[in-house]
Amino acid sequence: MRVFILFAVSICSSASLYASTLEIYRDGALYSFKPSGTFVGFAPKNSSAECGDNSFSPVPVPECPQNNGLCKLKKQIDAMGLDLERTKREMDYIDRLIEEVKPESAEKLLQISKASAARYAELSAEKIAGEKLLKSRRELFFKMAPSLEPMHLPKPCSGELKLTLPAGYINFDLLYEADISNPDRIIVTKHLGVTNRSGVDISADSAMLYYRPMHRYLQPVHFRPWLIRERRPMPQIRTLQKSAAPMAADLELEAAPAYKNVESRGVRSYKIERLDLPSSGERIDIRLQSWENGAEAAEMVYPYRDRRVYRVIRFRPKNAIESSRWKVKEGKKIIASNVKGEYLDGYYTLFVSVDEDLAVSRKKLFLKEKESFFGGTLRKKDGYEVSVVNQSAEKKRLTIIERIPVATRSDVEVKLLKVTSERKVSYRAGKNGKLTIELTIPARSSASVEVLFEVSYDKEKPIFF
């Protein structure tokens, strides 16, 4: 019995000694494993390796294992290249033959020309098809690996090999999925996506993913006294300023195995057991967690900036949101595949789609009594009208986010005079001149809202807005 126990302990120790591990950082990856030979895949040329106390770089060697998927694809590419070269050489031979041949008669020349032209046409079609196929195969290969050169260790490694891969070849990111089938609830699913195009097929017993760099440079921090200095007037420097170009911002709004053994290790670091990560260039999707959250839906528009009406989902998440990338769906139907989420006014907010049934316009109001004087103060009335047309067969409740000017000088005063509509409307004035207007538009009808405000300022100090 004792012998068996010692033997079992020896086997377990050997297994744990050579357990393969993968560590992915923002600036590279470290793959530790027991190699079966010198071949390490099609690793980037600036990769490095360690075996015991020895450090070295993989070197290109033409030999490639037959059972490796990338090697099989490379063999196809090489064979296609050779076939294409043979076709080109035969076409060149036909060209030289026609130029150099001296037949005995014109009839013989015509026969040779016809045969050569027919064969040349066949070869030309083969060349075009071969180039197209070769291009597609090369594009597929370079999607999965950085180079066509098989990389080998300069000498065999009998122990654990630590292969360090540079940044950009093994990456991971977070993506959230929102199911908004229920208008009052939202199902949030957190996904982790890992992509490998390093040219090295990875099979790790344990993988750690970190949202931090592998190589971090830190400088020491020292105390510096807070000094009181004499105030001296700064010399005025006259500069020529260029006017900034106007900015336009538009809101732009896509499986693999589901890993159950994924563990969150602190904020933005994850551990995965038994991760198979072939060098395919395809994103492997790993489901991390899912929860249900109360939510509220609204139709919102910002007419002063954008006339499109957005369908917006707002909720207070039960768990921390670590990425702003979202995919939104209703059941199995994808609504938007690339949505950016953000925290706004205490809620997490998703602009999920555009309501094409609502058409919004905004125009300036032309007032008869626009200006009046009170002593040295000039009072100027101004305003605008927002019009909405509902083209759908159902009523729409719309939230309009608008604004009035904000004073930047103490002698300037801005007053909201009224917000009116021919339909029932409610509004609230917030900070920085923000107006939140609630309006319901019946089916196949229209509505408009007028906003009127007054700006008072010293007539000797003109302003503009």
Residue 122: which domain range? 69-144
- The verdict on residue 103 lying in a domain is yes
**446 inside domain:** yes
Contacts for 267 with CB less than 8 Å, ≥ 6 apart: 320, 322
Kindly state whether residue 363 falls inside one of the protein's structural domains: yes
pLDDT, residue 376, reads 74
CATH of the domain at 388: 2.60.40
Phi/psi of residue 326, nearest 5 degrees: -135, 150
Q: Which residue, 305, 322, 415, 321, is CA-closest to 360?
A: 305
**In the block, residue with structure tokens 């130029």:** 99
Last residue within a domain, chosen from 115, 144, 173: 144
pLDDT score of 379: 86
Whether 262 maps to a domain, the answer reads: no
What are the residue ranges in the chain where pLDDT is below 70? Answer: 1-18, 101-109, 231, 234-267, 368-375
Residue 238: predicted pLDDT: 57
Structural domain contains residue 126: yes
pLDDT at 275: 92
Q: What is the pLDDT of residue 240?
A: 47
Q: Which of 110, 128, 144 finishes a domain?
A: 144
> What pLDDT is recorded for position 399?
93
Q: Work out the number of other CB atoms within 10 angstroms of the CB of residue 269.
A: 13
Could you report the per-residue pLDDT of 249-261, keeping only the tens digit for each? 333 333 444 455 5
Domain assignment of residue 211, yes or no: no
Q: What is the pLDDT of residue 171?
A: 92
Q: How many domains does the chain have?
A: 2
User: Is 200 a member of any domain?
Assistant: no
Report the pLDDT value the prediction gives residue 294, as an integer from 0 to 100: 92
Domain boundary (144, 174, 200) is at: 144
- Dihedrals phi, psi of 408, to nearest 5 degrees: -110, 0
For residue 282, being part of any structural domain is answered with: no
Give residue 243's pLDDT. Answer: 40
